[in-house]
Every structure is written in C-alpha cells, then in structure tokens.
C-alpha cells in the first residue's frame, strides 16, 4: 500500500512562476516530511524537511506546507527556474531510534524558459 | 569527491547469476541504507546498518539478498540467483546519527549515491 502518495506524475510551469507539488500520506506515525530532488543519472538530493509540529518551513525559494489534519503537504517553488526541472520525491520518516524513509513515486517538474 | 559512491554504475547479468554491488558512504557516517527503485516508483527501503550491525531488513529483501558492512565502512549487497524482477536501480545512502540520542525535532539527512542499475536478462 502507498503510504506516501504523489498523484501528479508530471507538472509543467513557466519560468518565474510558482511551482506547487502536492503529496498526501496515510500513516499517522510519520513525524518528518521530506522533499528530495533527483536529476537523471544521479541519486536523490535532500531539499527541505518539515517536522510534524510545524505547518511551514521555508528555505530560500522553497517552502513546504504541512496540513496534518488533512495528511497533506505541498512544496512551493517561487520563482521557478529551468534548473529546477527534475523529479521531486515526497517522503516521510518516523521519529525514534532510526529513520526509515518512505518515498512517494515522484513528480516530474519541467520549468519552461 | 567526498560523497557516497557506488560501484558498478551499471550491471547486466543473465538470470540465475549472482551479482554484488559495493557502496562507499561518506567517511564519518555511521548509518548506511540500501534502497531499490524500479521504473515509475520511488526508492523503497531494503535494509540499514548502524556501523557494522544490520538493524532492519524489509520484507522486500528475500533470502536471495544479503547485505554486509563488515568494518562499519563500505557495504556490499549481493543478489544470488538473479531473477528478471530484480532489475532495478539499487541506491545506497548514508547519514550521521548521534549515538544514544533519538532524533527528536530534526531529520538527519540521508545522502544518496548515484545508484547501480541492474539489468537481468
């Protein structure tokens, strides 16, 4: 069963506009929510995280919003740049002695110049 | 280059053969993870090590799979009697965890290697 769901396989956005990537989760035991970015032929790269006790975390052009009651999070990229074109994985991890990460299937973002 | 490295990057084998992959984590990292990613899916957790101890294995890791981290540094993942369904990208990641402390309030980033792409013919 998919505990982390990304329902949009792809997204195209014009350069300079906002990109919004969405993610839903089902497991209430998750305490950290993560976004990883992946370019072709490379491993995923950590982008930003948010703890379940927060509803927003911002890092430069990237902001992650968490709606715990809806079990929904989103990643906003403003302004979008062509170099942001990549596959974005939503992921989640529990707290505790280790952090086994559960990934969604990814959303391919294309930023059009 | 001080990132996570994996070798080989690509492996083509025939069904029934054994294959072994190697992962070299970031040198000071004490945790090492293996993931598998198939086409159209996200990475799926396989197993992880705290130093040389293998602390958890996923149900995905059948008895044909074995992973080791003999000296708490590099790790190997071996697949015996490969099947076509084993074709995937095998990703290794490492992280630095403070021993004896649970990671409350923060996520300790897992750094991923570039992966080994396995094709079983």
Kindly report, residue by residue over A35-44, the tens digit of the pLDDT. 999 999 899 9
The pLDDT of residue B99:
58
**pLDDT greater than 60 at residue B45:** yes
Q: Rounded to a whole number, what is the distance in angstroms from the first to the last CA of chain B?
A: 33
Residue B121 vs residues A82, B38, B44, B61: alpha-carbon distances, Å: 37, 16, 22, 20
Give the β-pairing of A107-112 and A10-14.
parallel
- Please list the residues that pair with A20 across neighbouring strands: A76
Please answer yes or no on whether B102 and A97 come within 8 Å at the CB atom: yes
Respond yes or no on whether the N-terminal peptide bond of residue A79 is cis (omega within 30° of 0). Answer: yes
The pLDDT of residue A78:
97
Distance from CA of A64 to the nearest CA of B (A): 15
Closest by Cβ to B107, choosing from A4, A42, A49 = A49
Asked if A32 has any chain B CB less than 8 Å from its own CB, the reply is yes
Q: How many residues does chain B have?
A: 121
Please answer yes or no on whether B107 and A104 come within 8 Å at the CB atom: no
**pLDDT greater than 70 at residue B5:** yes
- Per-range mean pLDDT, top range of A1-5, A76-80, B41-45: A76-80
> Average pLDDT for residues A46-71, to the nearest whole number?
95
> Average pLDDT for residues A45-58, to the nearest whole number?
93
User: Whole-angstrom Cα distance, residue A19 to residue A38?
Assistant: 16
């Amino acid at each position: 069963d998919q505990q982390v769901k990304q329902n949009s396989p792809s997204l195209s956005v014009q350069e300079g506009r906002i990109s919004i990537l969405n993610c839903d989760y089902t497991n209430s035991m998750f305490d950290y929510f993560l976004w990883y970015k992946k370019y072709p032929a490379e491993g995923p790269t950590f982008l930003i995280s948010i703890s379940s006790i927060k509803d927003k975390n911002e890092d430069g052009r990237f902001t992650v919003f968490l709606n715990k009651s809806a079990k929904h999070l989103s990643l906003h990229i403003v302004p979008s740049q062509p170099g942001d074109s990549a596959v974005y994985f939503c992921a989640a991890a529990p707290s505790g002695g280790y952090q086994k990460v559960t990934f969604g299937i990814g959303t391919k973002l294309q930023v059009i110049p | 280059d001080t990132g996570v490295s994996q070798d080989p990057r690509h492996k083509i084998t025939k069904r029934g053969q054994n294959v072994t992959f190697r992962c070299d984590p970031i040198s000071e990292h004490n945790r090492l993870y293996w993931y598998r990613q198939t086409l159209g899916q996200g990475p799926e957790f396989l197993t992880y090590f705290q130093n040389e101890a293998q602390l958890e294995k996923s149900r995905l890791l059948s008895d044909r799979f074995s992973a080791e981290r003999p000296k708490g540094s590099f790790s190997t993942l071996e697949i015996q009697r490969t099947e076509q369904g084993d074709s995937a990208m095998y990703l290794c990641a490492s992280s630095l965890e403070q021993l004896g402390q649970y990671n409350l309030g923060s996520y300790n980033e897992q750094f991923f290697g570039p992966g080994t792409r396995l094709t079983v013919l």
